[in-house]
Structure 1
């Protein structure tokens, strides 16, 4: 017999329950390609962004570097290896992750399940918000109804009307008009992002994710499943990753309400190009007098191209919000 529940409850159990997908230590790179694992040049770009934040903060004796949804911890390890030595020596790196700590994570990285308080520095949330569980609503002839799902099969049926809070969020950020239209209520993600920004004393928080805006919401939503490098049906039974794209414009407003003093909403392509990843191919003449250098530059250009491809990783949205410092000019 089916055990019907809301998508938010089903996602939470499937991803973060006692034997959930991430609780048992599954790593994102084993199931889908991420910027972190596509190239270490992603970390080098974020190391440059960290240097910009450090400059804006006045080079404090300690600077926090927090990776929310750290996965394997590779991003932090790569940034520590890439950052200039004087800056790296002042870093206090923190991985926020519910999965067990991998053995190869540098000893100096603090591994914890919850956000630290009082952050002065840089917070990175790379492909984190898309895994924050949310409810799905479908418009019916009788008005919007919360969608219920059977976690064992993925079958769906209409449930109760959304709560007043969810209806308010829908009207502001994802209004439904025609029967059959669906929306993914991003209110829990707004709250999660506000919790990040609210912990900034001074510094910057960056959310990086596939996203959409109010002017172009997907009519039928974006729920998807990933397993072993393939897209699979979004069945919330714990066997696969279950994600949905992020309404970063709604998160922007939540971050401002939480205390952000400056904001930039851009794309990964634009941000990484500003941080030096141009993707430009080296001049072929260099192959004659420096063949090894030419091959290294050619490899870097290829990696930059993948990271900034507007139809792939470069299409990610970047939500940059700061507290008490400006958004670096290299981004804007």
Structure 2
């Protein structure tokens, strides 16, 4: 949709965005007049005090810019908890959540694990945003004060990890490189400045050998623009080297490589979210909107295997939740109790329907020392799509 039809931000919000634009423009000038899109995305999302995830605006839920599965329904976290039990029993009773958002998923997981008598010894959260970390701490203190001592926050990945690692809508928020495959060669898309100092797009030859090698492995038609997720691959590699015993579960929207780089998807998958509107203008109001890219799950699987991890499964969110017992949780509420049952039934529909989140969102599992099949992959294997 056109950004001209989007809600107009307040003068304060516009001033906030202007400060971030000035920061980005200064970095462009200091970098020889050009900045790769990956760095722009990093600044737009994570610049201290100014980026989308590091400033104080609401991101999640009805008051934010989008709704994630944990915000939509507690059934999501409660169902995921049942898979985490199996992983912890096969490894260590520890959970590490990457990018915990509002903290709602942690609350739902811990609440369900407490009911089932399977609380972890420790629930760690790696959160780069000081603002979100504060909100997570507040929510846990309000909802689960008696369990707050089990939760601790990390500034970086630990050197060694054992247990369950979860990342819900984490990979899509990591900076990506924009690559333009042309008949004359492969170039990288980045940002420059117009004569009046406005941000604008500009392609330049690729100078990073790793990026060029990755781009050359992709077979696409000429005049094809898409993303390469080097940061996401780097995260998976780091986790693979640190994981001693346990499993990683990443839940996100995306495809295998063949679908990700489909000839008809020649403008890539970059998407922005602003006040529940979706559009593709990544230069619109930096700092006030989310910028995401779909996940190349083939690249995720390959990075994990190269880092010594075993492939544990790949399926849709719908199959994963059904395999882990979301309908059994729904059936704990009597259909005669319409006030309770009808909203929960609608939430299950949104989480599992192919027309909603059920098919676009996938769940990939990678691990080390996990010899048992994970229940989340009992049916609906999609590994052939990787």
Aligned partner (choices 143, 146, 158) of residue 188 of structure 2: 146
Structure 1: distance between partners of 2:83 and 2:330: 23
Identify which of 335, 350, 353 aligns with 1:309.
Answer: 353
What SS is found at the alignment partner of 1:147? strand
For 1:235, which of 283, 292, 301 is the aligned residue? 283
In structure 2, C-alpha distance between the alignment counterparts of 1:163 and 1:177, rounded to whole Å: 22
Unaligned 5+ runs, structure 2: 1-21, 29-33, 142-147, 379-386
TM-score normalized by structure 1?
Answer: 0.87
Aligned partners of 2:83 and 2:324 also within 8 Å: yes
Question: In 2, distance between residues paired with 1:322 and 1:206?
Answer: 9
Out of 203, 216, 219, which is 1:175 matched to?
Answer: 219
Report how many residues are paired: 319
- Verify the 8 A CA contact 2:319 2:376 in the aligned structure 1: no
For residues 252 and 294 of structure 2, the distance between their equivalents in structure 1, rounded to whole angstroms, comes to 7
Contact residue 279 and residue 303 of structure 1 kept, 8 A: no
**Unmatched runs of 5 consecutive residues or more in structure 1:** none
More deviation, 17-26/221-230 = 17-26
Post-superposition Cα deviations, 1:69-121, rounded to whole Å, max 9, x if no partner, equal: 11111111111111145745433111111222222234332122322232221
Within 5 A, what are the aligned runs for 1:1-332? 3=28, 4-18=34-48, 19-29=50-60, 30-57=64-91, 60=92, 63-85=93-115, 87-100=117-130, 101-102=134-135, 103-106=138-141, 107-108=148-149, 109-150=151-192, 155-161=200-206, 163-172=208-217, 174-178=218-222, 180-216=223-259, 217=261, 218-232=265-279, 233-235=281-283, 237-278=286-327, 291-292=336-337, 295-314=339-358, 315-325=360-370, 326-332=372-378
* Shift in alpha-carbon separation, 1:195–1:327, aligned structure 2, 3 A: farther
**Alpha-carbon contact 2:272-2:292 (below 8 Å) kept:** yes
Mapped contact 1:65–1:123 kept (Cα < 8 A): yes
- How many angstroms apart in 1 are the aligned matches of 2:154 and 2:57? 17
| SS of alignment partner, residue 110 of structure 2 | helix
Contact 2:314 2:377 in 1 (8 A): no
Q: Distance in 2 between matches of 1:182 and 1:211?
A: 17
Q: In 2, distance between residues paired with 1:14 and 1:115?
A: 23
Q: Post-superposition shift, 1:135?
A: 1.0
Q: Find the aligned partners of 2:270 and 2:304 in 1 and give their Cα distance.
A: 24
Query: Residue 96 and residue 25 in structure 1: after superposition, are their counterparts in 2 closer, same or farther (change >3 A)?
Result: farther
Query: Offset of 1:5 from its aligned partner?
Result: 1.3
Once the two structures are TM-superposed, the CA of residue 25 in structure 1 deviates from its matched residue by 4.0
Q: Structure 2: how far apart are the matches of 1:27 and 1:175?
A: 40
Q: Deviations over 1:168-187 (max 9, x none)?
A: 22233x32321x21120112
Q: CA deviation at 1:141?
A: 3.0
Instruction: Supply the distance in 2 between the matched residues of 1:187 and 1:44 (Cα, whole angstroms).
Output: 32
RMSD, aligned α-carbons: 2.5
Task: State TM-score, norm by structure 2.
Answer: 0.76
Going from structure 1 to structure 2, the CA distance change for 1:25 and 1:114 (only over 3 Å counts) comes to farther
